[in-house]
Structure 1
Amino acid sequence: MDRPELADFLRHARSRLDPSDVGLPPGARRRTPGLRREEVASLTGMSADYYTRLEQSRGPHPSRQMLTALARALRLTDDERDHLFHLAGEEPPRREATGTHVGPGLLLVLDRLHDTPALVTTDCGEVLAQNALSRALSGDVLARPARERNLLRRYFLDPTARALFPPEDRPARAREHVANLRAVAAARPADPVPAALVAELRVGSEEFARLWAEHEVAVRRATTKRFLHPTVGLLELDCEVLINTETHQHLVIHTARPGTESYERLQLLRVVGLQDMAPSRS
């Protein structure tokens, strides 16, 4: 691990970003350009002290998970992400096998969607990034342990995950998840990621195994979803899915139709939900 070079690289990467680049309000006038250390720490999910020590060449060896989070927070390109891993003494993830690094261009689009929930997932349901309103709607997925960031795994193996949807909608959501995963697994038969997820869910969920045996296939596309939020109530949202075929990543955008009750409730969530998160996030 090259601590001085890693520290220098982190400082330069931080200095070139404005708050608006990562979906943060501008705040008070800044004496120096770029994000503050505590802002990078918050975006990454680490303590401000931990990040400060990294920039001062006295930090511990960051884990691969932490390096991945840093690459996202600092909006690094694939090459810059690989350089970050090398400086930390780690082998970069294989690009063709992971598909988990979200490019800065896609993150910029995500951060510009201030008034609608949006997130980036893999086609297997792994959540890679969320904007603030998505966290207000469904919780901060990236704050959970790594195994709990997959939407399909949680939906079929964690009963609490279904509380976000009305009971009468849950069978249809389950069927959609299974049909999409079957399409993904068939399209990439040599990829161990979808195959392993299918095997795990067939063993762990009787419902998944039953639906898998029905052999329904449907690629994830535009639909309408209803969410049960504990504060603002029922929201009926249009769901659009933009697909990057090279990285197998999906940009999922939820919008409410203007003039509807769901639109008003989404605006309320934007105010109430973001206020609840902003002061305490670290």
Structure 2
Amino acid sequence: MDKPELAAFLRNRRERIKPSDVGLPAGRRRRTPGLRREEVAQLAYISTEYYTRLEQARAPHPSGEVLAGLARALRLGDAERNYLHDLAGVPVAPPPGPPHQVRQSILDLLERLPNAAAIVLSASYEVIAWNHLATALMEDFSVLSRRDRNLIRRAFLGPPPSSGRLYSVSDAGRFARSSANHLRATTARYPDDPETQELIAELLAGSDEFAELWKAHDVLAEPTLCKTFEHPVVGTVTVNCDALSIPDRDQQVIIYTATPGSPSEEALRLLSVVGTQRLDVPG
């Protein structure tokens, strides 16, 4: 624990926050910029005496709960929170399960890709964000429950084969193997997450194919550079696949693009116009 640096960091961040930032009146008798020590202590749910000792480099080792309260009170970002934990000598507790909240900048990115279908996957392969073209190419995820937006569950447990496995993609079997390997690595990172354990139990009970893959204990995922969708409206659509990692959220942005000038590019352009409308059904 680096007490002097921890004290200096807390003072610095306290002085950067305006009372109005946390819903407090500015008042007229503030002798120092930022918040008062007692205000930070109140926001962090700790005693003013203990917080004062932290800023004076005299306090004992803070707990993870105290650090979480300080990070919240001082409105620290992810990097600042990690630094606070490093100074205190307390490892950052991992989240209990795969994060599902997508940064606004990533959501904005999806909407700035009008000629590409893009989705965001959690570590358990749940589709947690998507753009307009992705709904047209795959399906309208907004009308599905969280359970039904999980691509691993869809790959192994449904819908029925007559409607095409996993949007009738050319590499459905390869995706299934790769996603099973990915899920094994995910469960090692989140061993206490009940949703992940429930998903695994359901797959083991409902899919002999998954059960066989699970027995192999493989964790290496196979990269996919290209795949072909058989779309019910525009037919064959071949796309390049690029996966962009978001390490701090343990998420992936999957971007599907067609080769410029190809029939698939024309198909995507048509889908971007018609969206999820069924042109093959008489109006």
**Coarse TM-score class (shorter-chain normalised):** 0.5 to 0.7
Give the residue type in structure 2 aligned to 1:198: I
Measured in 2, the distance between the counterparts of 1:215 and 1:116 equals 34
Identify which range, 244-253 or 193-202, moves more after superposition.
193-202
The answer on 1:165 being equivalent to 2:164 is: no
Q: Could you tell me the TM-score, scaled by structure 1's length?
A: 0.59
For residue 107 of structure 1, what is the aligned residue in structure 2?
107
Give matches, 1:80-229, under 5 Å.
Answer: 96-97=95-96, 99-158=99-158, 159=160, 160=163, 162=165, 164-166=167-169, 169-219=171-221, 221-229=223-231
For residue 24 of structure 1, what is the aligned residue in structure 2?
none
In the alignment, is the contact (CA less than 8 A) between 2:237 and 2:264 conserved in 1? yes
In the alignment, is the contact (CA less than 8 A) between 1:237 and 1:256 conserved in 2? yes
**CA shift digits 1:148-183 (9 cap, x unpaired):** 1111112211124616225x6332221122122122
Measured in 2, the distance between the counterparts of 1:184 and 1:220 equals 15
Measured in 1, the distance between the counterparts of 2:153 and 2:171 equals 18
Q: Which runs of 5+ in 1 are unaligned?
A: 1-77, 79-93, 278-282
Identify which range, 178-187 or 157-166, moves more after superposition.
157-166
Measured in 2, the distance between the counterparts of 1:220 and 1:101 equals 26
Specify the structure having the higher radius of gyration (Cα).
Answer: 2
Give matches, 1:15-94, under 5 Å.
Answer: none
Measured in 1, the distance between the counterparts of 2:164 and 2:102 equals 25
Over 3 Å counting, the alpha-carbon distance change for 1:174 and 1:128 in structure 2 is: same
RMSD: 2.7
In the alignment, is the contact (CA less than 8 A) between 1:142 and 1:149 conserved in 2? no
Q: Which runs of 5+ in 2 are unaligned?
A: 1-76, 78-92, 279-283
In the alignment, is the contact (CA less than 8 A) between 2:166 and 2:172 conserved in 1? no
Give the residue type in structure 2 aligned to 1:150: N
Measured in 1, the distance between the counterparts of 2:212 and 2:226 equals 24
Partner SS state of residue 215, structure 1: coil
In the alignment, is the contact (CA less than 8 A) between 2:152 and 2:179 conserved in 1? yes
Q: Could you tell me the TM-score, scaled by structure 2's length?
A: 0.58
Over 3 Å counting, the alpha-carbon distance change for 1:229 and 1:253 in structure 2 is: same
- Name the % identity: 38
